[in-house]
């Protein structure tokens, strides 16, 4: 039987998300400071990735709808 997790080691979704935000911000600042890329380059890439992910969400949503329709038609 599995051992229940220690309540002291469980973090909320909010705490986990905040930790990720802090780490991403620190990494981004460090890379900008080191001249690996500029703030403008970073912001442009954020926009590019956001558009790509939005298209992916649309494809997943369309595939879900198509699958659902197929299942309904075969009942």
Q: 2-55, pLDDT tens digit by residue? A: 888 787 788 899 999 999 999 999 999 999 999 999 999 999 999 999 999 998
pTM: 0.62
Q: How far apart are CA 66 and CA 17, in angstroms?
A: 33
Q: Are 62 and 55 in contact (CB under 8 A)?
A: no
3-state SS assignment for residue 22: helix
| Backbone CA torsion sign across 48, 50, 52, 58 | negative
Encode pLDDT of 2-17 as tens digits: 888 787 788 899 999 9
What the block records as the tokens of 1 is 């039987």
Q: How far apart are CA 20 and CA 42, in angstroms?
A: 17
């Amino acid at each position: 039987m599995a051992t229940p997790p220690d309540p002291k080691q469980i973090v909320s979704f909010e705490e986990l998300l905040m930790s990720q935000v802090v780490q991403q911000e620190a990494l981004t600042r460090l890379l900008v400071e080191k001249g690996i890329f500029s703030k403008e380059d970073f912001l442009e890439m954020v926009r590019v990735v956001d558009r790509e992910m939005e298209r992916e969400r649309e494809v997943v949503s369309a595939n879900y709808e198509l699958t659902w329709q197929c299942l309904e038609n075969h009942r």
